[in-house]
Structure 1
C-alpha cells in the first residue's frame, strides 16, 4: 500500500499550549443598550458576559470586558487587544461578541454592521503578528437574520473551506493562507434568529460555558466541545410565544479553518 494514507489515531496534530498556563486573552464585547427609542435593551446579556468571564478566568485566560460599543469601536477594541495585549508567549486569542446581528455580521450599538471578514482581517494584520499560526477564536451570540424555520428544515450552513497551503519557492517552509487558524462559533445558523431569555441569558452561551468546564475541556478539543454545544442546543426546542405557539429548534453553526486540535489544557 502507498504511504500517503494516515489513520485517524496514527497522527494527532495539536496546537502548542503555553506550559505556564497563561493561555491568552479573551475579549468579551457585550452590547446591551442600543441607540434608538424603539430598540429594547439586551439586559439578560449581562448574565452571558458574567458566565463567560468566570469560565475563561477559570481556564487561566486574561479577560477583558467591553460594553456598548459602536461598530467602529468594536474593530478598534479588537485591534487594540489583539495587537497590544496578546504576545508571542500566548497560545490563542478569543473574542466573544454578544450583540444584535444580521445576515452580514454583528451590529454595534449604532446599528452599523461589522462583518466576519472584517474581524478576520483585523487579527490577521501585521500589528497582530503574535497570532500568526495560532488559533483565533470568535464566538457570537446574536441573530443572523429574522427567520424561525420549521423543525423539519434542513440546516443550510455555508461551507467555508480554507485555501490549500502552499510552499515557498525553496520548498522548506510553509506560507499559511490568511484564512488559516480561525474558528467561528455562531449561536444560530445563517439567516435565523438566536433565542435569549429575558432574564436568564442565552441558551447558547449557557451551553458553551457548561462544556468549557474543566470536566470536559481538560480532555476534549475545542471542536469537540462545540459539537457538544450544537447537539445540546438543537435537541432542546424553545417555546416561542407566537400565535399559534411554536417550538423553535435553534441550530448553532461552526466554521473552522483550524489545522490542528486545540485544547485549553495539555
Structure 2
C-alpha cells in the first residue's frame, strides 16, 4: 500500500510539473538560431567590434543546454525575415523550444539588417504565433536581442550610503531586450556586450535550478549595478524583457530533469 501511495504521489508531482513548467526533455531541445549582424552598408557604423565574443559565449551556452546551433552572419532586413519564416515553417514536433539570438544595431523602431534597414521585432516574433507555427504551439519561443533601442544614455542615480494545446495565438513568446526602449545598449570591443555577458554567466550558473524569468531578474540586478562608459561620463543600462509565457521555462542541461519518465530511450 505504501509503495502504491508513493507512486501516486510521484505521478501527482509530475502532473503539477506539466501544468506549471514547459516540458524540456527533448534532445536536442530545439534550434538556437544566432543572427550576428556585424558589418553594415549604411545607416550605422560599418563594423560592430566585440560581437564575435558574444557569438562564442552564446554558442557555448546553448550547446551546453542541448540546443542545435545555427549561426547566420550579416543578414539583410529581408533575409532576416526570410530566415525566421523558414524556421517557423519547419516541423518542430520533436523539439521542446525555439531560441533566436539577434546581435545587431537597432533603433527604437526595431533591429537593423546588414543593409541598414530596420525590421520590427514584433514582425519577427509574430512569425512564430501558434497559427503560423503550429508545431511550436504551447512551446516557448525565446528571443534574446542585443541591440540599441535609441540613442539616449540611462543616467546613473547617485545616492549616499544611507539610502493541452489550446493556446492564445500570441502566447508562449519571450523577448529579452538588452535595454529599455529609447536607450542605447553598450558593448565592449574586447569582452563583448554587457547584456550577453551577464545573460550567459547567469544562465550558465543558475539555469539548472532557476527558471528563465528568475534568471532574468538576476541579469537585471547585475546590469543595474554595472557602471558603463568612461570615468568622466558614467551611465547605466537595464534590460527589458517582455513575455506572454504561460509556464515556467527551465533551460536545464540535464536531459532527465524534471520529467524522468518522459525521456525517450533507445529501442
The RMSD of aligned alpha carbons is 2.1
Which 4+ stretches in 1 moved above 4 angstroms? Answer: none
Q: Which runs of 5+ in 1 are unaligned?
A: 1-9, 154-172
> Equivalents in 1 of 2:24, 2:154: separation in Å?
40
Which deviations, in whole Å up to 9, do the C-alpha atoms of 1:52-107 show, x marking residues without a partner?
Answer: 011100111001000000011011111212322x5212111010000001101111
C-alpha distance 145-92 of structure 1, shift in aligned 2 (>3 A) = same
Deviation at 1:152, TM superposition (A): 3.5
Residues 151, 83 of structure 1: CA spacing in aligned structure 2 closer, same or farther, 3 A cutoff? same
Is 2:62 the counterpart of 1:71?
A: no
Query: What residue is the counterpart of 2:176 in the other structure?
Result: 185
Residue from 114, 122, 141 that aligns with 1:109: 114
| Residue in structure 1 matched with residue 6 of structure 2 by the alignment | none
Could you say which residue in structure 1 is the equivalent of 2:24?
A: 17
- Decide which of 140, 147, 152 is 2:145's aligned counterpart: 140
Q: CA deviation at 1:22?
A: 1.8
Residues matched between the structures, number: 232
CA–CA distance in structure 1, aligned partners of residues 136 and 184 of structure 2 = 32
1:114 Cα deviation after fit: 1.1
Change (3 A) 1:135 1:125: closer
Name the CA distance, whole Å, in 1 between partners of 2:132 and 2:153. Answer: 40
Q: CA 1:37–1:73 in structure 2 vs 1: closer, same or farther (change >3 Å)?
A: closer
Distance 1:225 1:37 in 2: 34
Q: Closer, same or farther in 2 for the Cα pair 1:184/1:37, shift >3 Å?
A: closer
Contact 1:107 1:114 in 2 (8 A): yes
Corresponding position: 1:247 with 2:216: no
Q: Does 1:58 align with 2:64?
A: yes
Say if 1:21 and 1:147 are closer, same or farther in 2 by CA, change over 3 A: same
Other-structure match for 2:203? 212
Q: Secondary structure at the match of 1:206?
A: helix
Asked if 1:259 is matched to 2:246, the reply is yes
The whole-number CA distance in structure 1 between the counterparts of 2:43 and 2:248 is 46
Counterpart Cα distance in 1 of 2:180 and 2:44: 26
Q: TM-score, normalised by structure 2?
A: 0.81
> Normalization by structure 1: what TM-score?
0.81
List runs of 5+ in structure 2 lacking aligned partners. Answer: 1-15, 159-163, 258-267
User: Are positions 1:199 and 2:190 aligned together?
Assistant: yes
